[in-house]
Structure 1
């Protein structure tokens, strides 16, 4: 399918795999997509900036970069930034079209329904989009898709008005009469309010006046504040809505001065916020921010999981705002047609952007026409820049599944550096443009959004699964059943049922001559530090005591890692340490005791703040202190081992000391947690038919430990 992207300050039209529908989403064929001039011009210019220019515009990113250099090293940071900057950026956030497919968990939509969609993360300028259900609304029968494609802009304007809480007959100033200002003016009028417009362009004032705005501040008026007080009998207005975009703080100051006592100012746009106390204090003004389309925006559970708020408690969520805006259009309470300057075929996007850059729009809005002919769902694309069908018996053709930050910043660069072992053959992402971006950068032959094409591709030897945690087990089993070797990121499973399926798969494989390798991404055991530690404890005569502390850092409970998709941090991250305990002891666990904190508030969770102690069959004892309550400037990981008159200490995979033997301290500036070595050993095992890098029983034991601890944490039972 075709999708508009931004690259190096220009727009391009790319061929990308069609997205696939998720359980909570619907697949939509786009007919019209609305251009948001201000937002898209900002994005266009941003893609043309150098690293230095971007850092100067956003100093907070510069600090993050410096912190990353300290923690991960210059090479990693450089690669991370280059990967971020080299990708083509999707654009668009307000569309309309027809439903092609409906997710299993979605209700209220059917194939063929006309819908309007919003969201910068999904409602792209693209022939086909996959959109969460709460970001879609049905289009009224008497409303066209062209008009409905403005739904995101309309919901933004409507939410700004709701924050204002206008009453019949009140007087409001709208500062900035671009598309949001024009819509705000009409919505206020529909609410029975008097509107005064303020803008630097006469044509915008004239347009708003033609649509019912009663007053406007003349462009040549030297003192706009005096003008406002003159037309309000010296009282000032009841409130101001700012829909302008400017760096100056004079706009916000003027808005405060225009208001009567007890008035209110709502910021919808983006202006300087150097506030003056004297502007606000004596009048006791209310200053409010309006967030996008309304309640639910940026709420993961609302937008991605489809959990609508109870109407009795949240009357106007973002989905309800979207519906109401379309009702206003359908009943002619808001007239969008005069605001649309032109409709362009989507292939003419460059022409549309040129008009915006030239500031040559008589009306503030343009719409892209994608046509109504049914688009083809093509979920696999070959990379034209790479020779297809190249086979090298010394290299493994690998598919990388999932294009999250870790896969992009760690796995793909490592695979590229191991080119003697791997050919990155296929990249899979449910968002096709993500797959195409990474294929271009790392030279993959194919991109796909359909996992089934990976499973049926005979050219592929192995897969690396780096999706969200809840998909790991199912995808790994499917790949194993298809005869692919699998390296799956931790955790291998989230439930006992999933673990049983994997165990049963290999139990059934015992009669076969060979079975595919399954390797969970417990990379720490492959760190050069842990290899030395293993060598030291391998010939021990007595049990060990292992103390491990993980100062993991805080992650909000709303983050996906803490949800059913992530399984929580005990299963999702502490499993690394359970694997280390298994690796170092080489023994079966015989008992587990766990003690979590008892938080008085919901800020900290029990399953990322606990102490666990386990005993092994060889007599060794291991304990883990896992906490999210520490400070990030303190080392994240520290291990101590006591055994046979020796003491081993390791800190952050940067420093190793062994007391009791002749050993020079081992140090490195950058942590080496074994990610690259993990991939190398995986390849060697496949190509040379060697023993698995991690024995199956050790992977199963690690998963069992994590699942047992999770059960103890959630049931408040101390022992298993």
Structure 2
């Protein structure tokens, strides 16, 4: 299928052939009829992508702060690689469309194949021939509403939420500053609600368009134009001024927010809908006691994964207008004739012309505010069944002919054909670069749930095929090894399915989240006889770690004491790591790394686990007693400063001490003195050596680099930390 995408590093904008996304539970697969270009939000992104790296940094200071924190924790080399990997990727465009349901996922049975729907979301309603859309971001289009007009529903919901935030009432006066696509819709909604409207915009054509839609008067923000609008306001309100000012403008000028204070009445509401500079002039806003409000996108539910992805609705008695209800309301107004958007359609072009259209909009070659992409449609009678029909859903695509798809094998054995399930940031920055350089590896197929993720992985690393169907990888008899780099809750299931297909499996931590998942895995191994499993416990392979352990030596004094301090830091509130119900606790997801590293150092598995947590739940201490009598403490802290180094390992025993400082420096203290070694090439946590060891084991049918018994022991100990916290007692393994 075709999809519009942009490389944020180079600014290149292209229409790509990508695999059709999978139809996941909780949503529907929609074949696009029309999608709307947001000439505000999207053009801002398109323009930003063409800036230099310095220009991008100035435009996104929030991302710069994250990079600075990452440098402190991971070092400049690793941070640079991750940042460039993120920048040098195709990203999607679009968030408002109308299409036809062609497949219904489990839990989305309120829809049926053939339903004409409007869809929303900058991760779902993309400029693509087919999109998977969750149920709460999708609504049926009423009879009589043309698909090209229904494609405005998302942008209409944004405007509607802004109007709702203003709480405008019948007969009041409103001023809309910025008469682009959002501003024009705000004008129409206010007029439909019986609110008198004036407008301000730099483009005369937009002013005339708003007046044709019912605005009393519109003019430019220059002195003469502002004076004219102000005169109309004063006459209409008896000298009071605007009851509401809606900021629908964009840019870095503070003019709109200053003008709002001038035109607003005493104690008026100022609602920010667009993305404009908001350096509030204190005196003007204080003297009038203006009420400044923000309008968050489509409405309540936006940015809440429980609502958008899990389909958990807000009760209407508590939240009357959610983003989905706003979408439906906008369509109902179109169906009833209270609202029209036909006059906003400036042009309709085939989606294959996307690069030209965006270029013309950026350069000002074309004017207007409402441009639609049209998608190929099956021929026949104008029925829903006709729209639902179409070519087969191609979820697997071969690589372009120019992309190498094979490499020569190693000496003494054939090449290892590798399939990947998942190709996110970690896989793309820490695993695939090493595999792509390995002469004994053939990257066969990459499977991702999002189409562009597969395209990015194929483009960067040379996979022979890309797919959105994980079974394509699992069931391919020519694939020797499967890498599972997906979200935590899916690991155990994918491992079992891969083992049942006779594959060797490399899975990122954790191996399992619950004991029953671990039991299923062990049952699968026993039933199939296939124990070829490796977990991505990379730290035991880190050069500084292995060298430090060698220099520390095996002292005759017996057991050791170890402390592993992990400054895990805070996560953004919307991080999927915080979904404990589905993904387990943060420690359960990451703690296996530290349990395994300690076991690798001590040489014995833990036999007992005790865990304690601070009263606010931010930090925990896990005490591990190992089979040889060694004691190890893991301090997992999430309430520290993100700029403090992430990991510090201290070991004492046999008359010596050792310290590993964040995988950049290893120090041993002994009777012969202090011995320090540093990693001048940057932080190396062992991914390169780990991947090489796994590939060699698969290639030569040798034992896995970490035994299944050790993997099981580490997983059981990690799960036991949560059990000990819950019970308040030690857990014997």
TM-score by length of 1: 0.93
Q: Secondary structure at the match of 2:287?
A: coil
- The answer to whether the 8 A contact 1:2-1:126 is kept is yes
The equivalent of 2:334 in structure 1 is: 329
TM-superposed CA distance for 1:167, in Å, is 1.0
Q: Distance in 1 between matches of 2:19 and 2:307?
A: 27
Q: Distance in 1 between matches of 2:264 and 2:116?
A: 42
The answer as to 2:475 corresponding to 1:456 is: yes
The answer as to 2:235 corresponding to 1:223 is: no
The equivalent of 2:536 in structure 1 is: 521
CA offsets, 1:463-505, max 9 Å, x none? 2111111111111111121122111000011111110111112
- The answer to whether the 8 A contact 1:134-1:306 is kept is yes
TM-superposed CA distance for 1:65, in Å, is 3.9
Q: For the structure 1 residues 485 and 202, does the alpha-carbon distance in structure 2 shift closer, same or farther, using more than 3 Å as the test?
A: same
CA offsets, 1:373-407, max 9 Å, x none? 22431111111122446663543221222122111
The answer as to 2:424 corresponding to 1:404 is: yes
Q: For the structure 1 residues 716 and 147, does the alpha-carbon distance in structure 2 shift closer, same or farther, using more than 3 Å as the test?
A: farther
The equivalent of 1:603 in structure 2 is: none
Q: How does 1:396-435 map to 2 (within 5 A)?
A: 396-417=416-437, 419-435=438-454
The equivalent of 1:203 in structure 2 is: 205
Which region of structure 1 is more displaced relative to structure 2, 428-437 or 81-90? Answer: 81-90
The equivalent of 1:121 in structure 2 is: 123
Q: For the structure 1 residues 682 and 590, does the alpha-carbon distance in structure 2 shift closer, same or farther, using more than 3 Å as the test?
A: same
Which region of structure 1 is more displaced relative to structure 2, 44-53 or 191-200? Answer: 44-53
The answer as to 2:590 corresponding to 1:578 is: no
Q: Secondary structure at the match of 1:665?
A: strand
Q: Secondary structure at the match of 1:327?
A: helix
The equivalent of 2:178 in structure 1 is: 176
Q: Distance in 1 between matches of 2:405 and 2:659?
A: 49
Q: Distance in 2 between matches of 1:245 and 1:104?
A: 40
The equivalent of 2:636 in structure 1 is: 626
Q: How does 1:98-497 map to 2 (within 5 A)?
A: 98-217=100-219, 220-221=224-225, 223=227, 226-227=230-231, 228-359=233-364, 363-373=368-378, 374-384=390-400, 385-388=402-405, 392=409, 394-417=414-437, 419-497=438-516
- The answer to whether the 8 A contact 1:264-1:288 is kept is yes
Q: Distance in 2 between matches of 1:557 and 1:496?
A: 28
Q: Distance in 2 between matches of 1:388 and 1:652?
A: 37
TM-superposed CA distance for 1:107, in Å, is 4.3
TM-superposed CA distance for 1:351, in Å, is 4.4
- The answer to whether the 8 A contact 1:540-1:643 is kept is no
TM-superposed CA distance for 1:449, in Å, is 0.7
Q: Distance in 1 between matches of 2:87 and 2:457?
A: 12
Q: For the structure 1 residues 324 and 508, does the alpha-carbon distance in structure 2 shift closer, same or farther, using more than 3 Å as the test?
A: same
Q: Secondary structure at the match of 1:633?
A: coil
Q: For the structure 1 residues 623 and 66, does the alpha-carbon distance in structure 2 shift closer, same or farther, using more than 3 Å as the test?
A: closer
TM-superposed CA distance for 1:158, in Å, is 0.2
Q: Distance in 2 between matches of 1:677 and 1:105?
A: 43
- The answer to whether the 8 A contact 2:33-2:374 is kept is yes
- The answer to whether the 8 A contact 2:648-2:662 is kept is yes
Q: Distance in 1 between matches of 2:446 and 2:196?
A: 56
The answer as to 2:608 corresponding to 1:610 is: no
**Residue 552 (structure 1) aligned to one of 565, 568, 574:** 568
CA offsets, 1:124-150, max 9 Å, x none? 110110112211111112222211111
Q: Secondary structure at the match of 2:430?
A: helix
The equivalent of 2:720 in structure 1 is: 708
Q: Distance in 1 between matches of 2:541 and 2:367?
A: 63
Unaligned segments of structure 1, at least 5 residues: 600-605
- The answer to whether the 8 A contact 1:486-1:518 is kept is yes
Q: Distance in 1 between matches of 2:701 and 2:417?
A: 16
- The answer to whether the 8 A contact 1:421-1:680 is kept is no
CA offsets, 1:385-432, max 9 Å, x none? 224466635432212221221112211222234x22323222221111
- The answer to whether the 8 A contact 1:19-1:432 is kept is yes
Q: Secondary structure at the match of 1:487?
A: strand
TM-superposed CA distance for 1:540, in Å, is 4.3
- The answer to whether the 8 A contact 1:486-1:516 is kept is no
Unaligned segments of structure 2, at least 5 residues: 379-389
Q: Distance in 1 between matches of 2:727 and 2:168?
A: 50
The equivalent of 1:658 in structure 2 is: 668
Q: Distance in 1 between matches of 2:83 and 2:715?
A: 34
TM-superposed CA distance for 1:623, in Å, is 1.6
- Output the aligned Cα RMSD: 2.2
The equivalent of 2:35 in structure 1 is: 33
Q: Secondary structure at the match of 1:81?
A: helix
Q: Distance in 2 between matches of 1:215 and 1:386?
A: 58
The equivalent of 2:383 in structure 1 is: none
- The answer to whether the 8 A contact 1:127-1:375 is kept is no
- The answer to whether the 8 A contact 1:203-1:362 is kept is no
Q: Distance in 1 between matches of 2:353 and 2:108?
A: 35
The equivalent of 2:381 in structure 1 is: none
- The answer to whether the 8 A contact 2:404-2:462 is kept is no
**What is the count of residue pairs matched by the alignment?**
708
